[in-house]
Amino acid sequence: MLTNDPGSNATIARTARGAELLRDAVASGHLAVGSEASIADLDLWQPHQVNKKRWSWARQTGRKLAGGIPIEIEGLRSSELARTRPVSELLEQGRGSMLRVRDGRADEPIPRPIE
């Protein structure tokens, strides 16, 4: 456990406007910048996020096969990342999602039209 960690977060500006907002927050003193971080740093700090992205395709496929509402994110490249994982791992992730949908532990019921 870290005893001297002041608490920190990594922030990514995805647009020019986002970068401008970050610069303004730093200039006004509302945000302090410690050091630059790379994508590789984020992968090391939060490996569970890396795995979530690697398994996204399998999990969403499992949801669809079980009749759940899939979550679709543009530009995630989930199918490309899935091809980097062992088939056994993808099957395990997809099966887990299917079971959660089947057992009602995945999300709200699928909306039905009002009659």
- The span from the CA of 39 to the CA of 29, in Å, is 25
Same domain assignment for residues 8 and 52: no
Q: Which helix (H) or strand (E) holds 73?
A: none
Same domain assignment for residues 21 and 70: no
**Above 60 in pLDDT, residue 18?**
yes
Specify the pTM: 0.64
Same domain assignment for residues 103 and 51: yes
Same domain assignment for residues 63 and 109: yes
**Above 70 in pLDDT, residue 112?**
yes
Crossing angle of helices 87-102/47-65, nearest 10°? 60
Same domain assignment for residues 58 and 83: yes
Same domain assignment for residues 113 and 88: yes
* pLDDT value of position 2: 57
Residues of the chain with pLDDT > 70, as a percent, come to 91
Same domain assignment for residues 98 and 65: yes
Torsions phi, psi for 20 (to 5 deg): -65, -45
Domain range for 33: 1-37
* pLDDT value of position 106: 82
**Above 80 in pLDDT, residue 52?**
yes
